[in-house]
Amino acid sequence: MGNLRQVVMFCAVALLTGCDGDSLERFGGPTMGSTYSIQYVRTSSAPGPKELQRQVESLLGEVDRQMSTYRSDSVIEGFNRLPANSCQAMPAPVLHLVRTGEQLSQASDSAFDLTVEPLLNLWGFGPQARALKVPDATTLRLVRQSVGHQHLRIEGEQLCKDAAIEIDFNSIAAGYAVDRIAELLGGQGVHSYLVEATGELKAVGRKPDGSPWRIALEEPRDDRQVAEKIIEVDGFGVSTSGDYRNYFQQDGRRYAHTLDARTGAPITHQLASVTVLHPSALMADGLSTLLLILGPEQGRDYAEQHGIAAFFVSREGAGFVTRTNQAFDQLTGVKP
């Protein structure tokens, strides 16, 4: 899909999984402008890694062709080029993601919005971006007129728009792909696995020696990867959204790639990253972005009110402060 939003999580495959014998299979490769990796416990009924890799890469290719904003021939880019008051027939997965985006938009009072691609381009973070710079107020005001989930509607199998909006699925497509891979593996008789695609994860079951899948959450640093926290995961998608890998500085201010659709501008608060655990990797993906946009106080309140398992990292002085909520502690086995 190309240049998906940066995540601040690394699945420490070599460091955390160890060597568990021949029954633990691994494969991976490039996808959507980044990479994917899969580890799974092979059973007698499951295909070998070459056949599973073929099936997984076919699935990833389908997601890329439907949802990528970095290839002009994708289904969604065809829709994005249409003028206002247009409709286009869409495959079911695209409509599913549009509905998910609408749900997240409504849940965040329109802070999260799938139609921010023109704003991403304007600020220099999108697929058609020309330069990383602060736009002038007049241009920003004009571009904001073409942003808003309320301009979308679904009519049967068609997606319609009443303004010249453009959709960007990069905040949820990778999580969706992980869920699809997990579904594929389960259908092939694989019931213990760790799936990662462009940084989004899902872990189910245990390794051959009975130990859990362990995932390292990264400290928000520009210079190197440092594990902030290591968690054990079984049955959940894990997504981390952060503001520090893709940003620019101008006139002493820092502008990150995560935009608040309500203002049309990058977030400016001190929340550096949010990790969410959710049974659906798609929802973990979207919710981590939603909470990051809302910020340290409103984001934590929202997670608490809705029972979202979340891990927050905020800037404080020259360092970082981490906070979890009860739902996260319960899922990761942390005692109060």
pLDDT in tens, 5-43: 434 444 444 334 444 444 899 999 999 989 999 999 998
Q: How far apart are CA 48 and CA 154, in angstroms?
A: 40
Whether the pLDDT of residue 317 is over 50: the answer is yes
Give the closest residue to 142 by CA, choosing from 56, 264, 48, 244.
264
At 104 the pLDDT is 97
Alpha carbon of residue 125 to chain centroid: 16
pLDDT in tens, 122-149: 999 988 877 888 999 999 999 999 999 9
Whether the pLDDT of residue 306 is over 90: the answer is yes
At 12 the pLDDT is 40
Domains and CATH numbers, the chain: 71-161 (1.10.3980.10)
Whether the pLDDT of residue 289 is over 90: the answer is yes
pLDDT in tens, 36-68: 999 999 988 889 999 999 999 999 999 999 999
Over pLDDT 70: what percentage of the chain? 89
Find the helix packing angle between 49-67 and 173-187, rounded to 10°.
Answer: 150
Q: Helix (H, G, I), strand (E, B), or coil: what is residue 10?
A: strand
Buried b vs exposed e over 151-187: b needs ≥16 C-beta within 10 Å?
A: bbeeeeeebbbeebbbbbbbbbbbbbbbbbbbebbee
Bridge partner residues of 167 (DSSP): none
Buried b vs exposed e over 266-287: b needs ≥16 C-beta within 10 Å?
A: bbebebbbbbbbbebbbbbbbb
Whether the pLDDT of residue 223 is over 80: the answer is no
| Strands 158-161 and 152-155, sheet pairing | antiparallel
Judge residue 9's burial from the number of C-beta atoms within 10 Å of its C-beta, 0-12 exposed, 13-18 middle, 19 or more buried.
buried
Q: How far apart are CA 68 and CA 48, in angstroms?
A: 29
pLDDT in tens, 188-210: 999 999 999 999 999 999 999 99
| Strands 247-250 and 253-256, sheet pairing | antiparallel
pLDDT in tens, 164-179: 999 999 999 999 999 9
Comparison of pLDDT for 263 and 11, the residue scoring more: 263
At 33 the pLDDT is 86
Comparison of pLDDT for 12 and 288, the residue scoring more: 288
If you ran DSSP here, which 8-state letter would residue 158 be given?
E
Q: Please report how many Cα atoms fall inside a 13 Å half-sphere around the Cα of residue 91, on the Cβ side.
A: 12
At 4 the pLDDT is 39
8 Å CB contact between 242 and 272: yes
Residue 218 binned pLDDT confidence (cut-offs 50, 70, 90):
confident
